[in-house]
Amino acid sequence: MVEERSYKQDQVAERDQVAGEDVAAVAAQLGREPRGIRRVAYRCPCGRPAVVETAPRLPDGTPFPTLFYLTCPKAASAIGTLEGGGMMREMQARLAGDPALQRAYTAAHEDYLRRRGDAAREDGIEPLPEGMQSAGGMPERVKCLHALIAHELAVPGVNPFGREALDALPGWWRSGSCVPADRAEEEGR
């Protein structure tokens, strides 16, 4: 019990290092309080957080394998359109027949796992178990463009499918802030 309390205190201290306005913006974007934020990993051109780096374990110790979490609802909507249009199926088919692409995607997976392990060590928490998934289906499947794009935005040049999907996106930020208008007023709480 003491260990859990210490862990929670560490998580609160870590979260306090993230600017309050960023936590409020992410809460407005998600429509709920964010958990385990370590830092803003990428900002939209509008200046709001678009990708946050999260702790490998939530404040209660639950494993949370998604290190880079896309928070921008406008980007998420645009990515959903790509997914609905069959982009993942096409990527999966190419992955199966292209050894160079397989190597690059495996390298992206290994980068993700290394960064997640580094985050656990930096936070003084137990790393996630060996063999736990990374994100987006890596390294064998393409199953979530949101996760792959979040990885590419946070670490440019590392995720080949994240880059490809990002390049296919329209300028989601052009229509204004990433915080929905109905939630913008809540941001200052």
pLDDT along the chain (189 residues), means of 10: 33 58 94 94 92 94 95 94 96 97 98 97 93 92 97 97 96 74 49
C-alpha span between 155 and 170 (Å, rounded): 20
pLDDT of residue 8: 35
Which residues does 89 contact at the CB level (< 8 Å), separation at least 6? none
pTM: 0.85
Of 111, 169, 119, nearest to 135 by C-alpha is 111
Q: What is the pLDDT of residue 164?
A: 97
C-beta separation of 159 from 146 below 8 A:
no
Contacts with 98 (C-beta within 8 Å, 6 or more apart), sequence order: none
- The reported pLDDT for the residue numbered 177 is 73
Q: Which residues partner with 66 through β-bridges?
A: none
Burial 10-32 (b: 16+ CB within 10 A, else e): ebeebbeebeeebbbbbbbbbee
